[in-house]
Structure 1
Amino acid sequence: MSQRANGSGFATGGPEFPDLPEATVARLPEYLRALHNLADDDQDTVSSEGLAAAAGVNSAKLRKDLSHLGSYGTRGVGYDVGLLIEQIEQVLGLHESRAVALVGIGNLGHALAGYAGFATRGFHIAALFDADPSRVGERVGGMSVRDIADVEAVVDAERISIGVIATPAHAAQRVADRLVAAGVTSILNFAPCVLVVPDGVDVRKVDLAIELQILSFHEHRKSALTALPAKAVGQ
């Protein structure tokens, strides 16, 4: 039996949201950011080419990604910006503000705790933790830093399912173990290490040094190409 799209753009008779490829999931936040910028500029509709350019992808890839949501746009008009924002936010689970625990209140932790952009993207820092007694009780971003020993009780009380680790690498695995034991099922890891977690726990790794090393490769490659004789480059 065929399925048809309901008013929210999702197929009826199926799951609450589609089973999306990981690459598509990774691009949806970029589309959402671009759409919010368009909405802020009072733009009601956008073509696939315009949205793709704003998100930094090609239009064919964007159309395929959005087709997974049941969104195909209108020929000659494009996509309804407001409706597409609602669809993507629903798929990403941003219709409710998700509580986040931040562990590690060093320089990076301070910056993350004070970042106002989380609130506008569907998240709020519900608790701050550190193992250093000198940090416990410190006020950061309007919140008091708690002892890591309290993580189980706080995660339960605040209904926290996402943890952010901003500790040194040597402490990250112990912190991850405590978060998982407390009931956290998703972790964003800023520590430069690989975490081992049970099945059912999702980890995203952010390593700024790796990103810089990748950019260094591109700089090295551009320098090498510039140094080649013109004939060699053209071959």
Structure 2
Amino acid sequence: MKLMQLLTKKYNFSQGNAIVGLLFSFAIIEVVAELFSFKVILFAFRPLIALMILYLYWITSKERSVLFFITIFFLLLTSIFIILETELFLKLGLVGIVIHRLLLIIYIIKLNKVKDYIPILIAIIPFVFIFSYLLSISDGIPEGSYYPLLVQNILVSILGGVILSNYFMTETTNTPWLSIFGVLFIALYFTVFIEKLFLNNLPPTYFRPLGMVLYVTSYYAFYKFVIDTEKLNTNANENNE
């Protein structure tokens, strides 16, 4: 029985490494496709990023949280809708992004077993200030986009506050992957925000390859955070018993 468990563990480990290799290989293909605006390749490969993260979690996690699958599923839907670039699909993509980020916030709070929300409220303030300032000085806001951008700013500020407060308040069960995810995710949002509102006269090839690198690395970091936190929580429960 132990031999079978050991063999299964080794198989999943080697399979996981292969999936990680494919994940970053596809990321390189996506960066090249963004550089040369190959829409067909973007449509074919971008959804695979989310699918591979889902599969990677499936083979490496013992808990296999439904909330993780739902969160990344909305990321998958959003990545498809945004590529299509029609008005209907862009609106659906916006709704998908809102749901996805709400789920990210709820999931991180659940994993970290947050009980005191005061540090989060304090940590949100600098993010709200920065994003509100950038939004107020922008002259390039597309018509009808102000309130969707405001909602996005609030959600990203809350997410940033949750991650920042965790960094300072949680010492015993902290994993560096959440901080890495936070830095990469905020950088990704800044890249998109600055491109759309301040530098939209420049070709998209200036920013989208960087955005793709940040997209893949941030969600890989999120996956690693979830796996590490599940292990830490399991060990803590076993020690309490």
Per the normalisation by structure 1, the TM-score is 0.27
Which one has the largest radius of gyration? Answer: 1
Q: Which has the higher contact order (CA 8 A, sep 6+)?
A: 2
Q: Which is helix-richer, 1 or 2?
A: 2
